[in-house]
Structure 1
Amino acid sequence: MENLPGNPVGILGALSGNALISKVAEFGLQLLKAVYDLHYLGFVHRDIKPENVGLYHDEILVLYDLGMSRFYTNKEGKVREPRCHIGMRGTDEWASLHAELGRDQGRVDDLWGWFYVLIEWMNCASKYPLCWAAFENDPDLRHFCKSGLFPAKYVLRNCPPEFFKIQRYLRCLGRDDSPDYLYLAKLLLQAKKTADGTPAAEASAPFADEEDDEKWSQRMSFLERLYD
């Protein structure tokens, strides 16, 4: 990947407020198109994360590292039957809950990875861009944070309202379901349109400062006590 020196975080880290939302939505649309193209060819990536996303000329986003990719369709083009237990494939922090539990992955699992990348980009100046990053060595807590039982407002802190709709939609998808990529794209376009059209004085600050990180750590500490 010597021809892809760019890093989206290098650009996003210099932005804040609605400028950040707009750029994350723009990059998110490009990444969604890359995921769609891969799925169209019958593959699932199974390891979507920031480290596998690069920039060409600081504007064209590229998804790479297909070392864990796998056909999800058979010779007839139908979705393959799931295997009972195949072990973890991917990277814990950005993997879907199903992937972490060792279940066979489908297109929705790639979309969870895509979504987690967007959330991280929205919080790239925070100590914990993803709320479960604080529990790197505690899979039970990480799984709880990724489950439907954990409040969305903590997972999606500093994110635009459209991200809540994306999360609700992804929770409705099963492994064999065909995702509505256009619906997801429209939500990102709406987030970008709203951010681009909002006066600077009304812009929210999506970054968490040091004080916010400290408060966040205090709010999350109750989870550690639950599992002591």
Structure 2
Amino acid sequence: MAQSNSSSRVGVHYKVGSKIGEGSFGIIFEGINLLNNQQVAIKFEPRKCEAPQLRDEYRSYRILNDVPGVPKAYFFGQEGVHNILVIDLLGPSLEDLFDWCGRRFSVKTVVQVAKQMIQRVQGIHEHNMIYRDVKPDNFLIGKPDTPEANQVYVTKSHIPYREKKALSGTARYMSINTHLGREQSRRDDLESLGHVFMYFLRGSLPWQGLKAPTNKQKYERIGMKKQSTPVNELCQGFPIQFAQYLTYVRNLRFDEEPDYDYLVGLMDKALQSIDATEDGHFDWMDLNGGRGWDAALNKKANLHGYGNPHPPQQRRKANNTNVTNISKRPSGQDKLAAGLPNNSSQQRLTKSQSLNHPNYNSITDEHSRKAYRQTNQHGHNHPVAGDGHSETSSFEERRKNQSWLRRNCCCF
């Protein structure tokens, strides 16, 4: 594998520095562009690996070169026995920040992050691409001490931060349609985002921790639990806009263009509902006595989402403690304002009650009214009248969807 030393260079003017990450597919190093002293990330993968991906990753980044929040790719080449990719050096992933914040984000932080994540996925979709691997590990913030320090970036997960997490990590957030074996489209990326938002708010999702003899059976159990968990139960205790978001995206047709502005607007309304403002302050900025996530850590070891403040065993123990004792931790002001989820059952509203509910009269746009009615009239989220999941899974339907994908989309 690649070695790091003072004389190592790739692509003529990129100097290889210290290793900052390693996964089952390769290694990532910190590096320097010798022409302008810009810090970069340099990825190595064996040319003869079973499924080389760096070339495709480079092409994806080049296609998305003008999309805000997508890292810039500067070089791809082959040297010796390796494929090499040079891209922007970024900060930690949202999953890392979530861990360091005690595995719970405030409503304010989730809303501010959610708006950026929706816009990143929209940028990918507008270039006729589908992401298909939405999870917190793939969204990173910018490098510390830069104007982009709290900008959210979307990346490829070629070199995973945590190995042996492929099934649980991906299955945790994927859409119900994906579990059902249906072709993925823009709606599925957005549904996965909704699951990530609730993961951040709740600290965990109802389908986490399910046991099964095989991975296939576990995958099926996760899908069944998602289908049987009502949206209003999943989002209970948080601003209603999160339930409206999930209801809207789950009702999109396969090839329907999402109304991204509407979804971003829902997040704005969620922020208003807790009397907060979008001021660019995030929970991780309060860590270490208000000095930020990186104050007490080795910055080099925590760039590009590959940093680990604890040894693996200590980290797992800390994570387990946070999950099991999360209700004992004091909540932040935003959480108190929004209300934490509780175990009491939420009564379903009849159509008459829903239309006369005080919240309903304050909803003025058509999307929100429809989502509000569906969220409160149905104790389940599949399939209901107009629900995207009620469409046929016949051979003809699958062929039609595949044809649409070939004409309109490729994968990031």
TM-score (structure 1 length as normaliser): 0.68
Cα displacement string for residues 120-171 of structure 1 (whole angstroms, at most 9, x for unaligned residues): 11123xxxx1111122643333222322x43223322443211111121112
Structure 2 partner of 1:28: 114
Residues 96 and 36 of structure 1, relative CA distance in 2, 3 Å threshold: same
Residues 10 and 130 of structure 1, relative CA distance in 2, 3 Å threshold: same
Structure 2 partner of 1:114: 193
Residues 39 and 45 of structure 1, relative CA distance in 2, 3 Å threshold: same
Residues 51 and 136 of structure 1, relative CA distance in 2, 3 Å threshold: farther
Residues 112 and 196 of structure 1, relative CA distance in 2, 3 Å threshold: same
TM-score (structure 2 length as normaliser): 0.40
Q: What amino acid is aligned across from residue 153 of structure 2 in structure 1?
A: V
Structure 1 alignment gaps of length 5 or more: 68-87, 216-228
Structure 1 partner of 2:263: 184
2:153 pairs, out of 62, 72, 97, with 62
Deviation, 1:98, is 1.3
Structure 1 partner of 2:137: 51
Which of the two has greater helix per residue?
Answer: 1
Contact kept? 1:162, 1:190, Cα under 8 Å? yes
Contact kept? 1:48, 1:94, Cα under 8 Å? yes
Which of the two has greater strand per residue?
Answer: 2
Query: What count of residue pairs does the alignment treat as equivalent?
Result: 183
Task: Work out whether 1:195 is the aligned partner of 2:274.
Answer: yes
Q: What amino acid is aligned across from residue 139 of structure 1 in structure 2?
A: Y
Contact kept? 1:166, 1:184, Cα under 8 Å? yes
Task: Work out whether 1:206 is the aligned partner of 2:206.
Answer: no
Residues 10 and 52 of structure 1, relative CA distance in 2, 3 Å threshold: closer
Contact kept? 1:29, 1:188, Cα under 8 Å? yes
Q: Percent of counterpart pairs with the same letter?
A: 23
Deviation, 1:106, is 0.5
2: CA distance, partners of 1:63 / 1:196? 29
Contact kept? 1:119, 1:130, Cα under 8 Å? yes
Task: Work out whether 1:123 is the aligned partner of 2:214.
Answer: no
CA RMSD of aligned residues (A): 3.2
2: CA distance, partners of 1:16 / 1:50? 12
Q: What amino acid is aligned across from residue 262 of structure 2 in structure 1?
A: Y
Instruction: Report which of the two structures shows the higher radius of gyration computed on alpha carbons.
Output: 2
Higher relative contact order (CA 8 A, sep 6+): 1
Task: Work out whether 1:152 is the aligned partner of 2:231.
Answer: yes
Cα displacement string for residues 59-118 of structure 1 (whole angstroms, at most 9, x for unaligned residues): 100111176xxxxxxxxxxxxxxxxxxxx9x92111111112222110000001111111
1:42 pairs, out of 128, 134, 146, with 128
